[in-house]
Amino acid sequence: MLMTRREFLGATALSVLGSAALPRAASLLAQAPTDKELSSPSKFDHPEIRVGMYSMSRADNFAPLLSEINAEQWKAINGGDPPQPQRIRGARLVAVFDKARGKAERVAKLYSSVSLVAKAPEDFIGHVDAVMINDDGSMRHQDQAIRYLEAGLPTWVDKPLSRDPDEAARLFALADTHRTLLLSCSLLRYAPEAAEAKKRLRSIEPLRTVHAYGPNELIYYGIHPTELCYAVLGRGVVRVQNIGERGRELVRMDYADGRRMVLEVCERSAYSFQAGFYGEKGWFTIEAKDMGAMARGLVAGFVESVRTGKAAIPREETLEIIRVLAAAEKSRLSGGVVVEIQ
pLDDT of residue 47: 84
Whose CA is closest to 165, among 52, 284, 26?
26
Q: Give residues with Cβ within 8 angstroms of 205, minimum separation 6.
A: 279, 280, 281
pLDDT of residue 16: 44
pLDDT of residue 42: 58
Q: Rounded to 10 degrees, what is the CA torsion of 149, 154, 160, 163?
A: 20
Distances in whole angstroms, Cα of residue 63 to Cα of each of 67, 141, 163, 336: 6, 19, 27, 43
pLDDT of residue 3: 44
Say whether pTM exceeds 0.85: yes
pLDDT of residue 29: 42
Whether 325 contacts 218, CB under 8 Å = yes
Whether 300 contacts 88, CB under 8 Å = yes
Could you list the mean pLDDT of each consecutive 10-residue stretch along the chain, which spans 342 residues? 44 43 44 46 76 97 96 93 91 98 98 98 98 95 98 98 97 98 98 98 97 97 98 98 98 97 97 98 97 97 97 97 98 98 88
Please report which helix (H) or strand (E) contains residue 104, including its range: helix 101-110
For 69, which DSSP code?
B
Pairing outcome for strands 237-242 and 338-340: antiparallel
Cα(72)–Cα(192) distance, integer angstroms: 33
pLDDT of residue 26: 43
